[in-house]
Amino acid sequence: MFFRSFLSVSLVSWVGVVVAADSAWQHLGNLSPYQKAPLPSGVKADLPDDCTVDQVMLMHRHGSRYPLVTELPFIQGLQYKLGNASDALAKAKLPSNLQFLKKGYTTTLGVNDLTAPGRQQLFNHGVEFRLKYPNLQASSVLAGGQDRVIESAQWFSQGYFGRTWPTLNETEFSTLPENNVTISWITPMDTCPLWQYAYGNNATVTWGAVYLPPITKRLNNVLPHTNLTDDDTHGALFACAYDLAAHGVSPWCDAFTEKEIADFEYELDLLMDGAFGYNLPSPMGPMLGTLFVNKLIERFSNSTGNASAVYLEFGHDTTIDQALAALGLAKDSPPLPASGPVPANRKFKTSIQVPFAAQMVWEKFSCTSSAKDAQIRLVLNESPLPLSACAKSSFDKSHGSCSYDSFVKANSYSTSTQWGSAAWNKTCGVAAF
């Protein structure tokens, strides 16, 4: 079945939850437009009435963007091939889902920067976040030092603070450089020299050699004189994702079957898991994420004596993936296979974890009767992601939370890991550089 006008029905499983999916855009991995994560079975979305959020820390991925400089050439190469065959395509009898090619396909996509839908995603999230925590007021905003991240933080702030921001609002706006000398919980891999050599696309190359050739053959059978290659097919898949990211619609999404889109989604999962997650050489993936976990614990413990009630921070999908790896969340056992078959119930699924404009929200809360002591929970894209390593009580399991003290104890690996320590330097090969 092809995605007719993005409408079809398929079943997707995430953390044991089966949800209905009605369009291609929900299955484009970390290139998916923002979507709310499914609520895990048995977990309640809202806290009891006697519970109050006392402190919150937001790590927000930038909104929908244009292709990276490494991705755009695939789309441009496809455009070139189709342009050379334009006369043949105009005369050919094409299937209904490829009729748009009779008029040609020209890409107007830019590179790297935030798109109009990306700006809207962040503005809307700023408004929603202000309404969700009306009694907690932020006084500062921190963004990673890339343009799309900075602009995302600005649009969120416009929604959160209002049109007087920043001229008439006493809010500190700062950036954290993204380079190989700045110790950063937003881009921790930048200060790990061996990461540059450890991550790669070997898994995606292997998987691409499995799933792309049949699609290329099918397209060449119905598109005369195009002589498409697997790179061109890749370009068409990227065009689906990035036309959506830039324009909110793409004719290319309807060119693929549900399975073909799912295979592309799996390629992106392999890429992210292999570059920023569990498939990095052990223990690099979890170790990189300890910088974020330690920053979270530092703030929620108020170990510096100047903790804020609200932290608004902006980074990347990689920031969130590395934090999840340090926490042992969304981990598959055995690891995701590079040559398939695609695990039907895999836990590491970037469409749900880190779509464009993903929101990782940490809440520290207290209750008058439902739970004792300070509590913590992770709300990822509007749904609690259970903290299984420290959940003990029935309250923990029904709300995806755990006591704050139990959380700290469960994350002793992070608290015992420091940037520049012997273990860090050994894993990152710092001494060799």
Which residue numbers are catalytic? Answer: 62, 317
In the chain, the N- to C-terminal Cα span, in Å, equals 52
**C-alpha span between 355 and 359 (Å, rounded):** 9
The residue count of the chain comes to 433
In 3-state terms, what secondary structure has residue 237? helix
56 vs 4, 129, 217, 309, 326, CA distance in Å? 41, 11, 51, 6, 20
Residue 172 corresponds to which tokens in the numbers above?
A: 């500190």
Buried b (16+ CB within 10 A) or exposed e, 207-240: bbebbbeebbebbbeebeebebbbebbbbbbbbb
Residue 428 corresponds to which tokens in the numbers above?
A: 């990152």
Where would I find the beta strands (DSSP E) of 50-94? 51-61
**C-alpha span between 373 and 405 (Å, rounded):** 9
Query: Which of 160, 172, 411 has the alpha carbon at shortest distance from 300?
Result: 411
**C-alpha span between 67 and 71 (Å, rounded):** 6
Buried b (16+ CB within 10 A) or exposed e, 339-371: eeebbeebbbbbbbbbbbbbbbbbbbbbbeebb
Query: Which of 114, 117, 125 has the alpha carbon at shortest distance from 156?
Result: 125
**C-alpha span between 298 and 307 (Å, rounded):** 8
Q: Are 69 and 112 in contact (CB under 8 A)?
A: yes
Amino acid at 254: D
**C-alpha span between 332 and 91 (Å, rounded):** 49
Cα 413 from chain centre: 24
In 3-state terms, what secondary structure has residue 403? strand
Residue 271 corresponds to which tokens in the numbers above?
A: 């890429």
Where would I find the beta strands (DSSP E) of 22-171? 51-61, 140-144
